[in-house]
Amino acid sequence: MRFVESVLLALSSLRAHKLRSFLTLLGVIFGVMTVVAVAAVIEGFFRYVDRTVTADLGANTVLLDKFGIITSFEEFLNANRRNKDITLADGQYLQERMTLAQYIGVQSFSSAEIRSTNDKLTGINVKGNTPNMVYIDATQPDIGRYVNDSDNERRRYVAMIGVEVADKLFNTREAVGREIKVNGLPFEVIGVAKERGSTFGQSQDDFIIIPLSTHQKLFGTRQSLTISIKGYDNGNMEDLQDQVRMLMRARHGLGYNEKDTFGFVTSEAINNFVQALFGIIAAVALGVTSISLVVGGIVIMNIMLVTVTERTREIGIRKSLGARRKDILLQFLIESTTLSLVGGAIGLGLAYLISLLLVKFSPIPAELPIWAAFLAIGVSSGVGIIFGLYPAWKAARLDPIVALRAE
């Protein structure tokens, strides 16, 4: 009963000082809003990377290239000195011996100037793919077709182009049968790829795909290639990677204690790298924004101390009528906690609104996680209790006789 009475008294006091209560809320609102909004951006970024990498690379695909995932310049220099170029012969070697792979494709990458009769584009990504990449690659034809075995065997000058290339060069996606020039050489457009959209504001549709043999004819055979190995849907990724590693180490004649002379890229490895790289940044960002919560707590404590001073006579009257120290303590704690909880709820709502606006009007991914909502409510109530404890303790210890004499 006394608890209910304390709650009612606390709420009544807050209603009686609406402007003061609102101004006190602002610190907590801003603090919770900032922390939760940053958490939403961090969570959205990690989920976005996971979805994008899995969609691009595939959950059951291993990439074999010269470097793998490089985390420092020194590591790059060591890998560049130690590792061997990946060749078309390596792809054929794996194709003949792999038992855990469903498909094995080979890719090469360059950039070039692409022209049509009306316009030109510079720095366009030119991918040289073997035909079986159609079963591995996330890029699929929407109109027309992918490069095929006949194109690759005869080194045909044909290309499947991205929708952005089609739109910019022809002002239409109905580009099959038209001619483009790659570094001045004529190519027939045989397909237009499905739209991929953008990643962090960077278009995924500004490319062309040509046969690997044609790519090597245009750009040379000395650059290292990338081999994509797709496992079976129910296969084990570790087993697939282990088999590739065993075969490539045997091919390169490596001893037991020698390091690999090639690298791997998987969706899991990329996600782990991103989380390790940005995890520290995320922790620092959350730590810095949490300072605003501390500031909000200090504001609550200061306002509650002023409130205790103003209501000294009221406290004396309540004590003279039988209120115990813990009743006074509880009343002021409830006031501070209520302020924090209301501020936390409003801050949470504003953070959710910010995350929606970021997704709609910017390339920044933001997803409000459930744990952030619980964290906001928990932290805001904790701020109210911690920073309201001293003012409440001070109010509870007032001598009723001294308090009644207060003006």
Q: What pLDDT, on a 0 to 100 scale, did the predictor assign at position 1?
A: 41
Q: What pLDDT, on a 0 to 100 scale, did the predictor assign at position 108?
A: 94
Residues 6 or more apart from 376 whose CB is under 8 A from it?
32, 35, 36, 344, 347, 348, 351
**How far does Cα 79 stand from its chain's mean position?**
28
> What does each C-alpha distance from 179 to 15, 109, 210, 339 come to in angstroms?
75, 21, 13, 68
Query: What distance in Å separates the CA atoms of residue 227 and residue 339, rounded to the nearest whole number?
Result: 60
**Residue scoring higher pLDDT (367 or 205):** 205
Q: What pLDDT, on a 0 to 100 scale, did the predictor assign at position 354?
A: 85
Q: Judge whether residue 270 has pLDDT over 70.
A: yes
Domains of the chain, by residue range, sit at 2-52+272-405, 84-261
pLDDT in tens, 119-167: 889 989 999 999 999 999 888 999 999 999 999 999 999 999 999 999 9
Q: What is the pTM of this model?
A: 0.69
> Using 50, 70 and 90 to split pLDDT, how confident is the model at 266?
confident
Residues 6 or more apart from 51 whose CB is under 8 A from it?
none
Q: Judge whether residue 398 has pLDDT over 80.
A: no
pLDDT in tens, 207-217: 999 999 999 99
Q: What pLDDT, on a 0 to 100 scale, did the predictor assign at position 311?
A: 65
Q: Judge whether residue 359 has pLDDT over 80.
A: no
Q: Judge whether residue 246 has pLDDT over 70.
A: yes
Task: Tell me what the mean pLDDT of segment 233-249 comes to.
Answer: 86
Q: Judge whether residue 267 has pLDDT over 50.
A: yes
Strands 207-211 and 120-129: parallel
> Using 50, 70 and 90 to split pLDDT, how confident is the model at 15?
low
Q: Give me the helix-helix angle, 88-97 and 237-251, nearest 10°.
A: 120
Task: Tell me what the mean pLDDT of segment 226-231 comes to.
Answer: 92
Q: Judge whether residue 16 has pLDDT over 70.
A: no
pLDDT in tens, 331-342: 777 777 777 788
**Residue scoring higher pLDDT (274 or 109):** 109
Long-range contacts of 16-22 (CB under 8 A, 24+ apart): 17/307, 20/303, 20/307, 21/339
| 8 Å CB contact between 376 and 292 | no
Task: Tell me what the mean pLDDT of segment 322-349 comes to.
Answer: 77
Q: Average pLDDT over the chain, rounded to whole?
A: 82
3-state SS string for 271-311 = HHHHHHHHHHHHHHHHHHHHHHHHHHHHHHHHHHHHHHHHC
**How far does Cα 294 stand from its chain's mean position?**
27
Q: Judge whether residue 180 has pLDDT over 60.
A: yes
pLDDT in tens, 82-100: 889 999 999 999 999 999 9
Lowest mean pLDDT among 65-74, 126-135, 273-282, 395-404: 395-404
Lowest mean pLDDT among 5-19, 216-230, 281-295: 5-19
> Using 50, 70 and 90 to split pLDDT, how confident is the model at 201?
low
Overall size of the chain counted in residues: 407
Q: What pLDDT, on a 0 to 100 scale, did the predictor assign at position 151?
A: 95
Residue with tokens 């991205």: 162
* DSSP character at residue 155: T
Q: What pLDDT, on a 0 to 100 scale, did the predictor assign at position 254?
A: 87
Query: What distance in Å separates the CA atoms of residue 191 and residue 145, rounded to the nearest whole number?
Result: 5
H helix or E strand, kind and range, residue 15:
helix 2-16
Q: What pLDDT, on a 0 to 100 scale, did the predictor assign at position 35?
A: 81
Query: What distance in Å separates the CA atoms of residue 146 and residue 354, rounded to the nearest whole number?
Result: 42
Structure tokens at 291: 């300072």
Structure tokens at 176: 């099959």
